[in-house]
């Protein structure tokens, strides 16, 4: 083989390698990191945006959608409360789930390379009532999520990751029963998405060590421990013996909180700045610094504006005016 032929041969190999690297990089970026906007129906109106809109938590706190989908199928026995197995998948956790919706209110779905599921503010601030015992629930945004067991959800994800069945063979077998991933996604899920998800969830176990302490009672439905979530997730404080779950509050009509008029937020009455409280809560949901600070601040500003003007709902049932008049003297 002549020197010229060798040079042409090596040049051809070099071109093939470069093309392969470029194509692989494009595919890797598209399937692993490229962020796509949510569908238009999510932002069609303010109420829907509040319930299903992303605030950016999918980047660091998101669970790959198909893993999230099949976990209750693979690990139904881990959905427990007071030592009893709860039937019904995620619905057993009391999440506000509207008929016809793919996910409960407070659960956002966004594609960042691949579809991911995370939480937004509605997970703790969507309430419901029934007009009769057998009626479908009516969901009211901004109210306290009095049926949702947030602590059980946190524990469930970690408990699943700790199980040796959380592996590519078992999860992919279940995923393949409910969807047809193309070859690229099959490979990504098997060799990257599932192992990395397991690793990230196991890392959370240390951050959530305090919710496994036997000397701390369970939060219960409709409650969370916001201050410990802030300490351990946002500032990385070492675990101590403080414990303070409280009822989830309503967040409508936030413009009423004005310090010099005596309207203060939180049970301690230590804040009247709704914007800072929303910012703190949203950062807790992200579990890390925002991937896009400008977008995150925009989301917080929108939430503050929307919830400041959101009116509380009218009482949905008939009012006994005589009893209401008697109660007025007390309340």
- At 55 the pLDDT is 96
277 or 265, which is more confident?
Answer: 277
- At 4 the pLDDT is 64
Hey, where are the domains in the chain? 35-328
Q: C-alpha distances in angstroms, 128 versus 59, 98, 125?
A: 29, 10, 10
pLDDT digits (tens, 9 = 90+) for 218-252: 999 999 988 787 788 777 788 889 888 889 989 99
Element (H, E) at 85: strand 84-85
- Mean of the pLDDT values across residues 296-322? 94
- At 206 the pLDDT is 84
Could you please report the per-residue DSSP string of 103-150? Answer: S-TTEEEEEESEEEEEE-GGGTSEEEE-SSTTSPPEEEETS--TT--H
pLDDT digits (tens, 9 = 90+) for 78-133: 988 777 787 889 999 999 999 999 999 999 999 999 999 999 999 999 999 999 98
- At 269 the pLDDT is 63
**CB contact at 8 A, 106 and 122:** yes
- At 30 the pLDDT is 67
Report phi then psi at 56, rounded to 5.
105, 5
CA 62 to centroid of chain Cα atoms: 7
Indicate if the pLDDT at residue 1 is higher than 70.
Answer: no
Identify the DSSP state of 271. B
pLDDT exceeding 90 applies to what percent of the chain?
A: 60
Q: Would you put residue 142 in left (φ > 0), alpha (ψ -120 to 50) or beta?
A: left
Place of tokens 């998101």: 62
- At 266 the pLDDT is 67
């Amino acid at each position: 083989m002549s020197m010229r032929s060798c040079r042409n041969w090596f040049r051809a190999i070099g071109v093939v390698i470069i093309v392969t690297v470029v194509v692989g990089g494009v595919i890797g970026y598209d399937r692993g990191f490229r962020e796509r906007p949510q569908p238009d129906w999510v932002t069609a109106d303010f109420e829907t945006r509040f319930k299903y809109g992303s605030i950016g938590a999918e980047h660091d706190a998101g669970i790959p959608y198909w893993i999230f989908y099949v976990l209750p199928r693979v690990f139904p026995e881990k959905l427990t409360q007071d030592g009893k197995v709860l039937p019904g998948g995620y619905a057993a956790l009391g999440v506000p789930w509207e008929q016809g919706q793919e996910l409960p209110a407070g659960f956002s779905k966004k594609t960042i390379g691949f579809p991911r599921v995370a939480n937004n503010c509605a997970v703790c601030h969507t309430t419901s009532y029934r007009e009769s015992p057998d009626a479908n629930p009516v969901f009211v945004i901004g109210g306290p999520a009095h049926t949702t067991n947030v602590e059980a959800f946190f524990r469930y994800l970690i408990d699943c990751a700790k199980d040796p069945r959380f592996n590519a063979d078992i999860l992919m077998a279940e995923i393949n029963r409910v969807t047809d991933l193309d070859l690229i996604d099959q490979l990504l899920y098997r060799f990257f998405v599932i192992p990395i998800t397991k690793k990230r969830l196991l890392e959370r176990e240390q951050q959530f060590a305090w919710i496994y302490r036997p000397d701390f009672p369970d939060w219960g439905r409709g409650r969370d421990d916001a201050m410990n979530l802030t300490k351990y997730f946002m500032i990385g404080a070492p675990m101590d013996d403080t414990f303070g779950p409280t009822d989830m509050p309503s967040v409508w009509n936030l413009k009423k909180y004005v310090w010099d008029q005596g309207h203060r937020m939180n049970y301690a009455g230590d804040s009247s700045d709704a914007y800072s409280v929303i910012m703190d809560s949203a950062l807790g949901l992200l579990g890390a610094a925002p991937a896009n600070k400008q977008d995150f601040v925009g989301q917080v500003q929108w939430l503050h504006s929307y919830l400041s003007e959101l009116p509380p709902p009218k009482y949905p049932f008939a009012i006994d005016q005589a009893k209401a008049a008697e109660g007025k003297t007390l309340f």
